[in-house]
């Protein structure tokens, strides 16, 4: 295991997390390079060329992590012009990028075309027309894949379900043929593929395979109409165990998917894993500030807050919370682990059995995905630092914000005239 106790101290690889907390301060995100690459290989080992893996940048967009994955052959799935700029800054190639997202702006589309984007995942007929117009103005042909909503229930949290007909994402299956034929007729559009993404934190293969069957049937239907579909992007969404759930069988899913695509023929497959690459490769370290007994429950107040990791507040998500230093024989207490933000929803865990004293460090596990990328400066709180561990070496890959960073770009009013 990447995170394990050695001499009663929790380590990331060979680095003591207590030492890292003391050296870099808390709150602190710590990532394991070994875990990231091991997770990447779970996909890459079963995904031969010409099929492509495009890491979902929104899961964790630190430049060093993007650089690491680019060095190991990753393409990238982005949802904004800013994410494209990050990929390029980290050494990724624009031609290895797919641009998803339901509300691409004029400027984002123009920027992506200027950089030579690999493909746009188009989510509406209106977006298709906009891309065609911008491509015409730039005198280029825009590579396009249609994101189709297969109306598959992924059995996940409603906020991260994206493949139902009630969701804002994608083109309805019943409208897909008409939109594809329209794209085929536009002079500055190259209709290349189909795309779908049914949701996130999915732990079984069956919803993905149901979606694949529907998408492959659509590929055949469009080919019969003369639309030369050459790739199918099945999106991301494979989850990780947060609360001792069964581990998804990635290898089996990938093999079955390839068999289904081979039966149709002539298709390059794309996947967009994000959480499955970085989720369990990171922890959030936090320090206990106070123990606060209450009439109905006891609180353990820590220095991290919902602005650092919003998943528990936003999704009621479970994250295991463990002491960085094990106390032999110490009695545990039932506590709510909460932060300093002025919101009742500022919590990391309810009714947890923990043995901790003021000044102790805790590790909030499985915080490598949708941790820092969803962080904010709410309550004028500087965002945490980030560290990447390789063996016994720790590299600071993002400095902790200082207060002056938080109002950079703001302006005071001019002095009032008397």
200: closest CA among 240, 233, 228?
240
83: closest CA among 110, 102, 56, 54?
56
The residues, any chain, with a CB within 8 Å of residue 229's CB and separated by 6 or more, are 191, 192, 193, 194, 219, 222, 223, 267
Calculate the CA 12 to chain-centre distance. Answer: 21
pTM: 0.94
> Could you report the per-residue pLDDT of 341-363, keeping only the tens digit for each?
999 999 999 999 999 999 999 99
- Structure confidence at residue 144 as a pLDDT band (50, 70, 90): very high
8: which DSSP letter?
T
- For residue 313, give Cα distances in angstroms to 122, 279, 338: 31, 18, 11
- Structure confidence at residue 398 as a pLDDT band (50, 70, 90): very high
Under 8 Å between Cβ of 196 and 208:
no
337: closest CA among 325, 326, 323, 328?
323
Calculate the CA 52 to chain-centre distance. Answer: 18
Gap between the Cα atoms of 90 and 88, Å rounded: 5
Q: Which CATH number fits domain 3-30+279-406: 1.10.1200.10, 3.30.200.20, 2.40.37.10, 2.40.33.10?
A: 2.40.37.10
For the record, the structure tokens of 331 come out as: 């009695």
> Could you report the per-residue pLDDT of 183-218, keeping only the tens digit for each?
999 999 999 999 999 888 999 999 899 999 999 999
Say which CATH class 101-271 falls into.
alpha beta
Lowest mean pLDDT segment, chosen from 71-80, 148-157, 159-168: 159-168
> Could you report the per-residue pLDDT of 300-309, keeping only the tens digit for each?
999 999 999 9
Clarify whether 15 is annotated catalytic: no
Domain boundaries of the chain, sorted by first residue: 3-30+279-406, 101-271
Three-class SS state of 327? coil
């Amino acid at each position: 295991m990447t995170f394990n106790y050695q001499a009663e101290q929790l380590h990331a690889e060979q680095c003591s997390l207590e030492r890292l907390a003391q050296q870099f301060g808390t709150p602190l995100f710590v990532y394991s390079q070994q875990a990231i690459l091991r997770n990447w290989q779970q996909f890459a080992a079963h995904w031969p060329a010409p099929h492509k893996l495009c890491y979902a940048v929104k899961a964790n967009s630190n430049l060093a992590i993007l650089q690491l994955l680019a060095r190991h052959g990753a393409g990238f799935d982005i949802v904004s012009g800013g994410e494209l700029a990050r990929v390029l800054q980290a050494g990724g190639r624009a031609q290895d990028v797919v641009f998803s997202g339901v509300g691409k702006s004029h400027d984002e589309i123009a920027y992506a075309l200027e950089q030579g984007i690999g493909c746009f995942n188009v989510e509406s007929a209106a977006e298709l027309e906009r891309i065609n117009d911008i491509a015409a103005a730039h005198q280029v042909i825009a590579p396009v894949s249609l994101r189709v909503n297969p109306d598959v229930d992924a059995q996940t949290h409603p906020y991260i379900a994206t493949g139902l007909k009630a969701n804002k994402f994608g083109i309805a299956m019943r409208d897909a043929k008409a939109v594809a034929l329209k794209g085929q007729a536009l002079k500055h559009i190259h209709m290349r593929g189909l795309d779908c993404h049914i949701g996130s934190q999915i732990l079984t293969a069956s919803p993905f395979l149901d979606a694949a069957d529907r998408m492959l049937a659509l590929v055949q239907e469009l080919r019969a109409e003369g639309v030369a579909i050459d790739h199918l992007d099945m999106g991301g969404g494979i989850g990780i165990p947060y609360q001792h759930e069964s581990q998804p069988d990635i290898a089996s899913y990938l093999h079955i998917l390839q068999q289904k695509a081979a039966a149709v023929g002539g298709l390059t497959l794309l996947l967009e894993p994000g959480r499955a690459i970085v989720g369990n490769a990171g922890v959030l370290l936090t320090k206990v500030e106070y123990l606060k007994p209450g009439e109905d429950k006891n609180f353990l107040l820590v220095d991290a807050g919902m602005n650092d990791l919003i998943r528990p507040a936003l999704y009621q998500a479970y994250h295991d919370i463990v002491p960085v230093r094990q106390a032999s024989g110490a009695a545990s207490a039932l506590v709510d682990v909460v932060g300093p933000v002025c919101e009742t929803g500022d919590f990391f865990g309810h009714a947890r059995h923990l043995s901790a004293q003021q000044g102790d460090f805790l590790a909030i596990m499985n915080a490598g995905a949708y941790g820092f990328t969803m962080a904010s400066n709410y309550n004028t709180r500087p965002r945490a630092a980030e560290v990447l561990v390789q063996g016994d070496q720790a590299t600071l890959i993002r400095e902790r914000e200082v207060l002056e960073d938080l109002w950079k770009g703001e302006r005071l009013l001019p002095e009032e005239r008397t």
